[in-house]
Amino acid sequence: MKLYYSFFTILICLAYVPFRAGAEDIKLFVTNSVAADRIGEAITTGIPFPEGVVKDTGLLNVAIGNHVIPSQFTPIIAWSDGSVRWALLDTQIDITAHEERELSLSYGNKTHKTINPINIIENESSISLSSGGLFLTINKKEFNLIESLKIDGHKVITPQSRGLVIYLEDGTEVRAGPPTGVHVETVGPM
């Protein structure tokens, strides 16, 4: 049985040295090399930047045509002046079979951010996440993992759940204990 590891190929064409704040957009090319459409396909790649150019990854954007798409940049390596040397780009796109899509990477004054579609509220007992029609609550005190889940106003999981319960052969009920810690690691559109 053959395994195909390269279902989806991303080709990054960067003009490394000329990229600076206010410069023309840098073109990124994504190629779907298989005979299947990809909907919401995850794209993750590292992007290098010249020294002194990118001080704030929050000013980086990716667009398809004139439409800015949700994307997230995580600084990986910094230059000695503190500017970003390499950033990890995470985004999602729709691409048809054997299609090549052109994305534009921009930075600086001409960028325009999309509204962060994910809202997170964290308190001592729970973490709540909302995104469009989805509302999710994670209990930090009990092991329910997901305490409640609503999709488009419809309850999918209710807070009355007892969490994970295992029944032994003799009928003894064993419940999972409380988590030792729950926290949000990263907040962003991806």
In a domain, 62, yes or no: yes
In a domain, 90, yes or no: yes
In a shared domain, residues 85 and 135: no
In a domain, 146, yes or no: yes
User: Is the pLDDT reported for residue 42 higher than 80?
Assistant: yes
d(CA 108, CA 83): 14
- Tell me the backbone φ, ψ of residue 89, rounded to 5 degrees: -100, 130
Instruction: Identify residue 21 by its one-letter amino acid code.
Output: A
In a shared domain, residues 163 and 85: no
Counting every residue written for the chain, the total comes to: 190
In a shared domain, residues 98 and 28: yes
In a domain, 114, yes or no: no
**Mean pLDDT score across all residues of the chain:** 82
d(CA 145, CA 137): 9
Look at 190 and 116; give whichever has higher pLDDT. Answer: 190
In a shared domain, residues 16 and 89: yes
Query: Which residues, in sequence order, are bridge partners of residue 29?
Result: 11, 102
The alpha carbon of residue 62 and the mean position of all alpha carbons in its chain are separated, in whole angstroms, by 13
Dihedral over alpha carbons 30, 83, 115, 187 (to 10 degrees) = 90
In a shared domain, residues 124 and 103: no
Query: Which residues, in sequence order, are bridge partners of residue 122?
Result: 127
In a domain, 183, yes or no: no
User: Is the pLDDT reported for residue 173 higher than 50?
Assistant: yes
In a shared domain, residues 171 and 85: no
In a domain, 185, yes or no: no
In a domain, 189, yes or no: no
**Among 85, 107, 129, residue at a domain's last position:** 107
In a shared domain, residues 98 and 169: no
| pLDDT recorded at residue 99 | 95
Specify the residue for token string 């759940």.
Answer: 161
| pLDDT recorded at residue 131 | 84
**Among 107, 135, 154, residue at a domain's last position:** 107
In a shared domain, residues 43 and 73: yes
In a shared domain, residues 51 and 90: yes
| Residue (of 141, 117, 140) closest to 129 by Cα position | 117
d(CA 57, CA 50): 13
> Which residue segment(s) compose the domain that 161 sits in?
119-175
In a shared domain, residues 65 and 90: yes
When divided into structural domains, the chain yields a total of: 2
**pTM above the 0.75 mark?**
no
Q: What would the pLDDT profile of 109-157 be if each residue is shown by its tens digit?
A: 555 555 556 888 999 999 999 988 889 998 888 877 788 889 998 988 8
d(CA 51, CA 83): 6
In a domain, 187, yes or no: no
| Residue (of 176, 184, 187, 179) closest to 140 by Cα position | 179
User: Is the pLDDT reported for residue 19 higher than 60?
Assistant: no
92: CATH:
2.60.40.1180
- Cβ–Cβ < 8 Å for 96, 37: yes
In a shared domain, residues 101 and 124: no
In a shared domain, residues 151 and 124: yes
User: What is the mean pLDDT of the segment spanning 45-58?
Assistant: 91
